[in-house]
Amino acid sequence: MTHVRVKGFKIFADRHGKMRCYHRKTLTALDLSEAPIGSLEFFAECARIDELAKMAGPAKGGTLGLLINEYRASEAFLEAIGARSRSDYQKVFDYWQPIADTPLVKFDSALIARIRDAAGKKHGRRFGTYVKQVFSLLFEWGRERGHLTGNPAFGMKGLRRRKGEPEANRPWTDGERHAVETALPAHMALPFSLMANLGLDPQDALSLPKTAIKDGAIDTRRGKTAQPVWMPLPEPLKEALAKAPQHDAITLCANSKGKPWTVSGYRASWRPIKLRLEKTGAVGPALTLKGLRHTVASIITEMGYDERSVADYLGQKTTEMARHYSRRADRTKKVSAIVTNFDAEVNKRRSKVVKPC
């Protein structure tokens, strides 16, 4: 293996043998799944982080910047969450760079709301909501360690979806899943089956090593939360594994050249297929691969399982996201029951009432 050294960065293998890289001065971690060591993307990301550190200067005591630095050096950041979560948090930390010198005592719900709203206006509703979520996580970590007396972001709401705005990552219908399964080429079928049957995030499905499948089961960890995932393989996934083209890549799935997929590469191959199916009416608009995760959660909820069961199946530590994923299924189930009861009341029981002469 070629050894790569970059001034100001530490590159090492953690206790699990997984390669890690972070900026020594700011403790900013690189997402090596998106920027593999030695690649052009890797050196570009190193240069970007180093330049940001030079512009920022040292963090001042009692400020947002200092709290961020201490959190990034903590086990909660380096070990307890996955690489993609660290990368997502870092995008918010970068966005906060202009306010890094703000004293923590200045933060209250009103200020956080203004920052959330500004982020949503500039970068979209989902990013604005995520900014609020990272504030809450960071301030709660700081509160437990005496940096703040409370968490001013606790209980704050995210930005509401605008009227007419399509639902992000909506669940797929049964017909849409079947149409896509039929249209996919052989080298794209296995990743799709992992997403559609196990609810794996696209990144997790595509980066899954061959060693994760053993004795008819999957044994891995979610990349975002580092939460263990173990379950027997459903029959459709066993069939997809048997039909998958042979290759020498270390990952379970490989592209048409026998190389590991990247998320961007799979999405680029998936997009023309989706557009073609949209034109024929086989699938509806706003279909996303991430929506398959919502689909799995919805189906499990409709089967009668609780939020903890959904969270365990999806490899989540808490039930918060399981509640988010399955809310549509809950609503559909309740409304369907109401429709059935309403029909029985109006068209059966009441229709039997004798009309006056």
Q: What is the pLDDT of residues 57-85, one digit of tens each?
A: 555 568 999 999 999 888 888 876 777 78
Q: Report the alpha-carbon distance of residue 5 to residue 9 in Å, rounded.
A: 8
Q: Structure tokens of 133?
A: 């979520």
Model confidence pLDDT, tens digit, residues 32-60: 888 888 888 899 888 888 887 776 655 55
End-to-end C-alpha distance for the chain, whole angstroms? 94
Model confidence pLDDT, tens digit, residues 139-166: 999 999 989 888 999 888 888 877 666 6
CATH 1.10.443.10 in the chain is located at 174-335
pLDDT at residue 189, as a whole number: 95
pLDDT at residue 258, as a whole number: 94
Write out residues in the chain with pLDDT < 70, as ranges. 1-2, 27, 55-61, 80, 163-167, 222-226, 317-340, 342-343, 345-357
Q: Does the structural domain 174-335 have CATH classification 1.10.443.10?
A: yes
Exposed/middle/buried for 90, CB within 10 Å: 0-12, 13-18, 19+? buried
pLDDT at residue 151, as a whole number: 92
Calculate helix-pair angle for 125-144, 64-72, nearest 10 degrees.
80
pLDDT at residue 305, as a whole number: 81
CATH 1.10.150 in the chain is located at 63-68+82-162
Q: Does the structural domain 63-68+82-162 have CATH classification 1.10.150?
A: yes
Q: Structure tokens of 225?
A: 């939360």
- DSSP β-bridge partners for residue 230: 219
pLDDT at residue 343, as a whole number: 66
> At which residue do the structure tokens 């990272």 appear?
134
The residue among 206, 242, 263 whose CA lies nearest residue 198 is: 206
pLDDT at residue 15, as a whole number: 76
Q: Number of helices (H) and strands (E), helices first, in the chain?
A: 14, 5
Q: What is the dihedral of CA 154, 159, 161, 163, to 10 degrees?
A: 120
| pTM for the structure as a whole | 0.58
pLDDT at residue 40, as a whole number: 86
pLDDT at residue 321, as a whole number: 61
State which amino acid sits at residue 157.
K
